[in-house]
A = this chain, B = another copy of it.
Amino acid sequence: MLPFLQLILAIAIIIFAAKLGGYLSNRVGQPAVVGEVLAGLLLGPSVLNFFHLPFFTDPHLEESIVHMAELGVLLLMFIAGLELHLEELVKAGKTAFFAGVLGFGIPLLAGFGLGSLMGYPLEQAVFLGLLLSPTSISISAQVLMELKQLRSKVGMGLLGAAVIDDVLVVLSLSLYGVLLGGSEAIGGVGEVGIILLKMLGFLIVSHAFGIWVLPKLVDIVKKLPVSQGLISFAFVMLFFFAWSAEALGHMATIIGAFMAGLFFSRSSVPQSFRDGFSAIAYGFFVPIFFISIGLEANIRLLTADSLWFLLILLLAAILSKVIGAGAGGALSGLSLKESLQLGAGMIPRGEVMLIAATVGLVEGIITNNTFSTVIVLVIATTLLTPPLLRILFSKARSQKSEPVQVGD
């Protein structure tokens, strides 16, 4: 079969499996992302060993799919930035700040401590901390919408905290890459100083461009008689930000994509633009990304040892997030119950943890075994959270101790 025929057959199967998995997952009350990753696990080496089916003979097929998955990650981060309203988040700023910083810091310390106890070398122990520190905005938001608590004090605080957490994780991953990631460019403190200067330079120049120049360009492009001009322009900017973040700024491509989304959300883009981008992302590229995660994991590698590791890691992941984010909520003036709700809402890991794990796998910092464990961990935290939140919020509702639903 011609390589192109293999490619379109593979994409058709992947998108179909992703959406079927997401649908079934929804049917049993779980977020779609769980089913999409599970579908990837089924297709992957764990069960079907997709890329080694007899009719897939093109040696570049897997690389082509991985490239599309990576484009999916960029689109996901762009949309995360695009959906953010800085103004709304600023209102919940205090809660978001404390819960975000401690919800990032405590799991980081927990993972680092766990890694050190297990005798990991420094850079692997730190990376284990980084793996535990993310929170998934999409999953938290979806659960809270379901419970009609998204615009409550806890809900807005949680959204803001998840964003701060994400930014801290992405920045830390970049910094990690510079300081510990074994980049051959690092020759000493002076070298690190130059790299930090480049990061700072990139952040300053890209922010200046994004805040002052981009909105004007958007206004011009909007009026041009070019078919889908604004969508194309967004792709150009998204890729250019992502590329320059890594190539010029020594940061991750995803932070560039996230920033591009943030700046577009501050520009006057029409709803049709958001709809079009959503169609491209969730209709095509993002399902490929979610499936590709499962495609790369092999749960056959999970041994009795790694099951113990998984259980300990899961416990650390849950407790550290509830304690960290909860303490942050309490510090910002939330009640104990609200702090618990906030902490529980931050348990789900998700895209960012998977992205971090993918980076770790590619860079050789974590093993295939750990990668598979991380995927099960993501699925487990995502599965545990909805029932937990339901319990915590129903108690609050029955006691009517405080107004849990505030309008905007």
Q: Give the B-binding residues of A (Cβ under 8 A).
A: 1-5, 7-9, 11-12, 15-16, 18-19, 22-23, 26, 32, 60, 63-64, 67, 70-71, 74, 224-229, 231-236, 239-240, 242-243, 246-247, 253, 272, 275-284, 287
Q: Could you tell me the distance in whole angstroms from the C-beta of A254 to the nearest C-beta in chain B?
A: 12
On whether A16 and B236 interact (CB within 8 A), knowing A23-B226, A26-B225, A243-B8, the answer reads yes
Q: Which residue of B lies closest to A281 (CB)?
A: B228
Give the residue of B67, B231, B246, B284 whose beta carbon is less than 8 angstroms from that of A231. Answer: B284
9 tightest A-B contacts by CB? A276-B279, A231-B283, A228-B283, A12-B239, A228-B282, A8-B239, A227-B282, A16-B236, A280-B280
CB <8 Å contact, A226 and B26: yes
CB <8 Å contact, A279 and B231: yes
Residue among A26, A71, A239 having the largest count of chain B Cβ atoms under 10 Å: A239
Q: Which residue of B lies closest to A225 (CB)?
A: B26
A-B pairs with beta carbons under 8 Å apart, 27 shown: A2-B246, A3-B67, A4-B67, A4-B70, A7-B67, A8-B242, A8-B253, A12-B240, A15-B236, A18-B232, A19-B226, A22-B226, A23-B224, A23-B225, A23-B226, A26-B226, A227-B278, A227-B282, A228-B278, A228-B282, A232-B283, A232-B284, A232-B287, A235-B284, A275-B276, A276-B283, A277-B279
On whether A5 and B280 interact (CB within 8 A), knowing A19-B229, A240-B12, the answer reads no
A19 and B64 CA atoms in complex are apart in Å by: 25
Q: Which residue of B lies closest to A20 (CB)?
A: B226
Please, which residues of chain B bring their CB within 8 A of the CB of A236? 12, 15-16, 19
A4 and B239 CA atoms in complex are apart in Å by: 11
Please, which residues of chain B bring their CB within 8 A of the CB of A243? 5, 8-9, 12
Q: Could you tell me the distance in whole angstroms from the C-beta of A67 to the nearest C-beta in chain B?
A: 6
Judged by DSSP, the binding face of A is: helix
Please, which residues of chain B bring their CB within 8 A of the CB of A224? 23
Q: Could you tell me the distance in whole angstroms from the C-beta of A248 to the nearest C-beta in chain B?
A: 11
Give the residue of B5, B225, B280 whose beta carbon is less than 8 angstroms from that of A246. Answer: B5
Please, which residues of chain B bring their CB within 8 A of the CB of A5? 243, 246-247, 253
On whether A12 and B275 interact (CB within 8 A), knowing A226-B19, A247-B5, the answer reads no
CB <8 Å contact, A280 and B275: no
CB <8 Å contact, A283 and B23: no
Please, which residues of chain B bring their CB within 8 A of the CB of A74? 8
Q: Could you tell me the distance in whole angstroms from the C-beta of A102 to the nearest C-beta in chain B?
A: 32
CB <8 Å contact, A15 and B235: yes
Q: Which residue of B lies closest to A246 (CB)?
A: B5
Given contacts A64-B67, A234-B283, A280-B280, 11 further A-B contacts (CB under 8 A): A3-B67, A8-B239, A9-B240, A15-B232, A15-B235, A19-B233, A23-B225, A228-B278, A232-B283, A279-B280, A280-B284
Q: Which residue of B lies closest to A17 (CB)?
A: B236
Q: Could you tell me the distance in whole angstroms from the C-beta of A62 to the nearest C-beta in chain B?
A: 12
Please, which residues of chain B bring their CB within 8 A of the CB of A26? 225-226
A4 and B233 CA atoms in complex are apart in Å by: 20
Q: Could you tell me the distance in whole angstroms from the C-beta of A143 to the nearest C-beta in chain B?
A: 15
